[in-house]
Structure 1
Amino acid sequence: MWLSAALLLLSFPGCLSIQGPALVRGTEQGSVTVRCRYSSRWQTYKKWWCRGAHWNTCSILIQTTGSEKEMKSGRLSIKDNQKNNSFQVTMEMLKQNDTDTYWCGIKKFGTDLGTRVKVHVYSVGKDTMSTSKQLSWPTVDSSADLVSSDLQKRNHYMLLVFVKVPALLILTGAVLWLKRSTQKVPEEQWRHSLCNDLDSELLAKDISP
């Protein structure tokens, strides 16, 4: 099983060498910053940012020179922080048509390394509605918790009345029955010995002159 998972990871370009956020969100006319991390062996390699749903056909929009110098191109900027093994890409003055699939990448000999990042741009009105919907979720969840709590209490009471109480009564009756049965044998033995004593006394009286 672990071998299959490892092969699956290796099938994606750079999944073990470079990592980034799966999704970033920003408002129209705002900005987003995407930070991607990489292993130390790639510090001096060029880093790039490309756009496109497919890895093989994405279009590189901006890239570094292999140093920590910040590069800018239109509304985009990219800067490598080699000490922290990460680089960041900033997209400014966002537009709704900026919503797309992008890639953080490392240029190397052979096949480049990369990780996919989805960028989602909202208009201010839609983002506000989305935020209000997210804020309303706790209220729904809390009411659901209250309903669940009431059901649990009701089930507990029904269990107590129909199961626990009868079981307790049966157990008590069994204990009392066992107690009486253990006490019954000595009582019968006492009665038997008493009758024998009385018979002996009567017999002695009859025999005596």
Structure 2
Amino acid sequence: MWLPPALLLLSLPGCFSIRGPASVRGREQGSLTVQCRYDPKWETYVKWWCKAAVWGSCQILVKTTESEWKKDRVSIRDNHTSHIFTVTMKELRRDDADTYWCGIERSGIDLAVQVVVIIDPENLLSRTIANSHGGFSSGSNVRTHYVLLVFVKVPVLLILVGAILWLKGLRGSPRSNGNSLSKHTCPLT
């Protein structure tokens, strides 16, 4: 009997024993964190993080031999209590953008889930800010500035301009001579 590939995967034991995000984003020169969850029965097994478009040719970058392991710019930590292992990549470069795999080492075929890492290039504005401050400005500072600009500074400026135009309109309009008011008011008797 023929099964579509997706249904075939569902029939494999342990197929959903490990879960991770489909993709994660990080900014060039920044860092990113990936959390992969696993079933409790895999608690004592070695976890790993590798890089390759095809799982079969995956080059393991780090793996847990104890609770935490660091190598160059990549670290991995296994939290047995919450059944999550966390991979952190620091000082991101554009060439870090690729397909990676969260995996669990076991006899036979390892368990793994694919994670696509996307690296956003450092923009010109953050480079300019970094140069003007004599060092690197974090992306979150730039983001905070834009949030303040869009949600606080621009609306306040628009309110002030509107108030000025409204006041200017009141001063420039001819004052009524009172005839129109007397038509709408009750006469005093």
TM-score band, normalised by shorter chain? 0.5 to 0.7
Alignment partner for residue 108 of structure 2, among 89, 107, 110? 110
Deviations 1:102-127 (Å, cap 9, x if unpaired)?
00000000110000000000112289
- How big is the alpha-carbon RMSD for the aligned residues of Structure 1 and Structure 2? 2.5
2:42 aligned residue: 42
Q: How does 1:59-78 map to 2 (within 5 A)?
A: 59-65=59-65, 67=66, 69-78=67-76
* Residue identity in the other structure for 2:50: C
- Partner-residue secondary structure (3-state), 2:123: helix
Deviations 1:134-180 (Å, cap 9, x if unpaired)?
xxxxxxxxxxxxxxxxxxxxxxxxxxxxxxxxxxxxxxxxxxxxxxx
CA distance, structure 2, for counterparts of residue 75 and residue 58 of structure 1:
18
Q: Which has the larger radius of gyration?
A: 1
CA distance, structure 1, for counterparts of residue 14 and residue 50 of structure 2:
15
CA distance, structure 1, for counterparts of residue 47 and residue 96 of structure 2:
21
CA distance, structure 1, for counterparts of residue 125 and residue 112 of structure 2:
29
Alignment partner for residue 78 of structure 2, among 74, 77, 80? 80
CA distance, structure 2, for counterparts of residue 10 and residue 81 of structure 1:
28
* Identical positions, percent: 52
- Partner-residue secondary structure (3-state), 2:117: strand
* Residue identity in the other structure for 2:80: Q
1:51 aligns with 2:65: no
Q: TM-score, normalised by structure 2?
A: 0.60
Instruction: Report if aligned partners of 1:14, 1:114 keep a CA contact under 8 Å in 2.
Output: no
Instruction: Report if aligned partners of 2:76, 2:88 keep a CA contact under 8 Å in 1.
Output: yes
Instruction: Report if aligned partners of 1:72, 1:78 keep a CA contact under 8 Å in 2.
Output: yes
* Residue identity in the other structure for 2:27: T
Instruction: Report if aligned partners of 1:27, 1:127 keep a CA contact under 8 Å in 2.
Output: no
2:172 aligned residue: none
Q: How does 1:48-197 map to 2 (within 5 A)?
A: 48-65=48-65, 67=66, 69-125=67-123
Long gaps (5+) in structure 2: 127-142, 144-189
Runs of 4+ aligned structure 1 residues displaced above 3 Å come to 3-6
